[in-house]
Chains A and B, each alone.
Chain A
Amino acid sequence: MDAVEKANTERQRRWVKDKKVGEGTYAVVYQGREASTGRKVAIKKIKVGQFKDGLDMSAIREVKYLRELKHENVIELLDVFSSKTNLNLVLEFLDSDLEMIVKDRALVFLPADIKSWMAMTFRGLEFCHRNFVLHRDLKPNNLLIASNGVLKIADFGLARDYADPGYKMTCQVITRWYRPPELLFGSRYYSSAVDIWSVGCIFAELMLRIPYLPGESDMDQLKTIFRALGTPTEEEWPGHTKLPDYVPVGQFPKPAMRDLFTAASADTLNLLSKCLIYEPRKRITAREALTHPYFFALPYPTFPSKLPKCSNQFSARPLEEVDGNVEMNASGPGVKARSLKRKLTPDEVEDRRSIARRLDFSKHTPGS
């Protein structure tokens, strides 16, 4: 065997797959461990055989960026190896994601908790941007949470670098609800500001406990944004009517943010509105956000290990299993991918709610 193949086999032997814990668009994720230490890891297996152009772009981006980015608030890629026609990424194991936490009705968020999640998100993002990497798919489901509460930016399958300002890029990125208006208008020369918009939407979602700007189509997304933040004027956002896909979607007045975020402090609303400034060049940067008064005012951010936690973790969640009630002819990867999407029944959510957090109800400020 060639030295290179041998080295690959040795790497492969370092890791053991234990059980399947999830399935993404292009990968199956296993819980596993390091053979020598027992350290828990996640192994993301990407089937390459199915792509006619070889290693696919999502996998390549994820590997390329995670190989370089090492930061407390960015998911750590521990190893990469191939097996037959699969590419395997060994990632640090993370228990849950921010989407699960937001949706877990049993959990109560204090303003200090939200501040803590925001601080960790901005720290991780500042590091990415400092390294000229755009994430381009920030949403609660891609902010994973470690067992000690530390938040890690994950899923770099859409990331790219932007060392060349003024380089044409695709506008087909970022999940719709978190996509900034410049992308919806088809801008091809965007910047790190696109990620900041997404963070603004996540910030709002943490306070509201439901998605802030849930458009039903790309067109409706613009309308949803303008309804929430007012239709931008030429003065507010010079030149936006000249963007490639610009369409007028109606005139909406600018409502006061305070009306929706009733319990939020002035600092909170100030930072939130700076993340959601229409003109991308005026939008706050991750670096500026980290020195925003919001982070220095009381209450101080909650220590990560004290943050509300989902009791139902990735690994504990049951996959929708076969149980013999699958139709005999229902085989093939398409069916498998769909039927394996994890789902919790409402009862299970109820059962697994965290008793400890309920005690906090007394201190809770609704909607803050």
Chain B
Amino acid sequence: MSVAPANDIAPSNKKLLLYEASTQFKNWRYSGERLVHIRATLNKAAVAAIRVKIETDEPGSSKDVFFLTPDDEVLLVKLYITKIGQLCGFFRFPEEVEATAVTYLKRFYLQNTVMDWHPKNVMLTALFLASKTTNNPISLESYTSHIPKTVASDVLDLEFLVAQSLGFEFAVWHAHRALWGIWLDIQNLSDSMQGLTPEVYDAALNHVRASRLTDAELIYTPSQIALAAISLVLPDITSQWVATKQLNGSSGLANVLDDIKAMISTHGLTPDVESVREVDRRLKLCKNPEKVVGSRAYLTRKREEEMIAEEKRNKKLQKGNVEQDPFGNPLRQRKGLVDYDDDDDDDD
């Protein structure tokens, strides 16, 4: 993964050092080009693999399929980012949960494609996981019972996959927190106090929220995003503040802020429902059949998995026999005892 060459700004040096030690800083920042490349590569590999599977299912049928493009995938994910917001409102989750779930969803689709895993399901798991990692857990039962057509296994089946895709790195640094820090700091500018009303803060916060619909957090630091959001509302005070901070590479910073502002205004909008619907329609025809329960490809894969498992069991049984034989013990005899080995069942 490459790291964006942008200079960071932060309200305090201490915080900055902590941020730079975070997994987010080390593992989850990209350049814009790198994001395009990752998505194109994932998309291409998925299309090739699914084409083969569709052909095995029904020869000749893949040429009529319009696979999703990387942009289609991004669009669909974006729609489900907005759904996270709706669900969080419903469950009255704090902003931290929403922001974290959105980050999880984006990070997930830098390792996986929409054609393998529909964002509808991944979103539900990401949100449930985020409620736990931010220490706002609710029971799975009350979670699923309030979401139509959803059962516990829809959420749990993907939990490991989502956690793995995140590299088990659950801590996320958010722009809305950085915004609060900068907001407090800006109030120290002697002549800027008037104009710093709660309405202004809310407007800046709304820009931070809009940035969640974009790639900003995968490219820039939370404080850069927060500063861009404030600067959309209070351009003069923001430049004044930046000047007093004498941040190194201030000219570079101006470019960064312009980039983020452009991103927020052009991409920070809820996607148009019609175009998403069209993508979703096509997805029905091109999703990985191995993951469609009941399809021929699905059954083939299951059969293969079972054969491998069976083989493993047989091997284990034989191994057990060899160990038991010298003592002349019939295999059964051990069964009633506490089976200490059952903890090791995943070791082979």
Same complex origin of A and B = yes
User: Min CB distance, A63 to chain B, in Å?
Assistant: 5
Q: Is A160 an interface residue (CB 8 A)?
A: yes
- Sort A-B residue pairs by CB-CB distance and give the 10 closest, nearest first: A83-B346, A80-B168, A64-B170, A328-B336, A53-B140, A54-B159, A82-B160, A54-B156, A8-B164, A4-B165
What is the 8 Å Cβ interface bit string for chain A, positions 43-66, against chain B (1 contact, 0 not)? 001001000111101001101110
User: How many angstroms between the C-alpha atoms of A101 and B300 in the bound complex?
Assistant: 57
Q: Is A317 an interface residue (CB 8 A)?
A: no
Residues of B within 8 A of A52 (CB): 139-141, 152
Cβ-neighbour of A53 out of B135, B139, B163 (below 8 A): B139
Nearest B-chain residue to A32, judged by Cβ: B347
Assess the A331–B336 pair: CB atoms within 8 A.
Answer: yes
Q: Is B343 an interface residue (CB 8 A)?
A: yes
Cβ-neighbour of B340 out of A48, A86, A336 (below 8 A): A336
Within 8 A of A (CB), among B135-161: 135, 137, 139-141, 152, 155-156, 159-161
Assess the B346–A68 pair: CB atoms within 8 A.
Answer: no
User: Min CB distance, A103 to chain B, in Å?
Assistant: 27
Nearest A-chain residue to B347, judged by Cβ: A17
Assess the B340–A55 pair: CB atoms within 8 A.
Answer: no
User: How many angstroms between the C-alpha atoms of A320 and B346 in the bound complex?
Assistant: 23
Assess the A53–B164 pair: CB atoms within 8 A.
Answer: no
Residues of A within 8 A of B14 (CB): 130
User: How many angstroms between the C-alpha atoms of A61 and B14 in the bound complex?
Assistant: 24
User: How many angstroms between the C-alpha atoms of A94 and B116 in the bound complex?
Assistant: 41
Residues of A within 8 A of B128 (CB): 54
Q: Is B177 an interface residue (CB 8 A)?
A: yes
User: How many angstroms between the C-alpha atoms of A322 and B159 in the bound complex?
Assistant: 36
- Apart from A57-B137, A331-B336, list 6 A-B contacts with CB within 8 A: A17-B344, A20-B340, A52-B141, A63-B170, A67-B170, A335-B338
Within 8 A of A (CB), among B162-176: 163-165, 167-171
User: How many angstroms between the C-alpha atoms of A84 and B348 in the bound complex?
Assistant: 12
Residues of A within 8 A of B159 (CB): 54-55
Contact flag A53-B343 (CB < 8 Å), given A80-B168, A330-B338: no
Cβ-neighbour of A54 out of B155, B167, B343, B345 (below 8 A): B155
Assess the B137–A53 pair: CB atoms within 8 A.
Answer: yes
18 contacts between A and B (CB under 8 A): A2-B112, A4-B111, A4-B164, A5-B164, A7-B164, A54-B156, A55-B159, A57-B137, A64-B170, A67-B169, A81-B164, A84-B346, A86-B346, A130-B14, A322-B338, A331-B337, A332-B338, A335-B338
Residues of A within 8 A of B170 (CB): 60, 63-64, 67
User: Min CB distance, A111 to chain B, in Å?
Assistant: 34
Residues of A within 8 A of B140 (CB): 52-54
Within 8 A of B (CB), among A52-105: 52-55, 57, 60-61, 63-65, 67-68, 70, 80-84, 86
Q: Is B7 an interface residue (CB 8 A)?
A: no
Contact flag A55-B343 (CB < 8 Å), given A67-B23, A80-B168: no
User: Min CB distance, B133 to chain A, in Å?
Assistant: 6
Within 8 A of B (CB), among A316-368: 322, 324, 326, 328-332, 335-336, 339-340
